[in-house]
Amino acid sequence: MNRFCEELTALLPRLRRFARGLTRDAADADDLCQQTIERVLKARNQWQEGTRLDAWTYKIMRNQWIDETRARKRRSETFGREEEGTNVGSAGHIDAENLVELGNVGRALARLPDEQREAVVLVLVEGFAYKEAAEIVGVPQGTLTSRLGRGREALLRELGEAA
């Protein structure tokens, strides 16, 4: 097995964690992982040796998820499902059962707007530096830190002493 594939395989546990953080749903996260690996393998000659494979792969995963959420939004608009209206800008509603399973922390995280949630997950969970996280998301560093700040504030407010 070549080095690229070895590194990618070693990355799988973390990729699955990031996918779970992005999607908030285990089945969606598994689908997202599979789609991401497909994209990554197809694009692997675009990866520059010596750069971070994790950041590159996260970026592909994140873009894949954006595509998926847009497609779902279009579908829900097409079918005019009103209950989706309460969740504009996110991947779709999470049903009550999932919310119970998520626990306090998961619920608070799930309620964040997508862009704040991804900033929080990239920096606080995945441990990327601001600069790297901004590069993955494709925004200026100031935008990234402001999203992170708002997300973190909301979580601290919601979880308070429990956190």
Chain positions contacting other proteins, by CB under 8 A: 1-2, 5-6, 8-9, 12-14, 16-17, 20-21, 27, 29-31, 33-34, 37-38, 41, 44-45, 103, 105-106, 109, 120-121, 123-125, 129-130, 145, 148-149, 152, 155-156, 159, 162-163
Query: What is the smallest separation between the CB atom of 91 and other proteins, expressed in angstroms?
Result: 17
Whole-number Å distance between alpha carbons of 44 and 39: 8
DSSP designation for 89 = T
Rg (the chain; Cα; Å): 16
- Least Cβ distance, residue 133 to other proteins (angstroms): 10
> Among residues 6 and 77, whose Cβ is nearest to other proteins?
6
Kindly tell me the sign of the dihedral angle through the C-alpha atoms of 71, 68, 149, 130. Answer: negative
**Exposed/middle/buried for residue 125 (C-beta within 10 Å: 0-12, 13-18, 19+):** middle
Quote the least distance from Cβ 1 to other proteins, whole Å.
4
Least distance to other proteins, CB of residue 77, Å: 19
Q: Which is nearer to other proteins, 16 or 72 (CB)?
A: 16
Structure tokens at 100: 């119970």
Helix (H, G, I), strand (E, B) or coil at 138: coil
Question: DSSP string covering 48-68, please?
Answer: PTTS-HHHHHHHHHHHHHHHH
Instruction: Tell me the one-letter amino acid at 20.
Output: R
Residue 91 vs 120, nearer CB to other proteins:
120
Give 7 or 85: the residue with its C-beta nearer to other proteins: 7
Least distance between other proteins and beta carbon 102 (Å): 8
Nearer Cβ to other proteins, position 77 or 153? 153
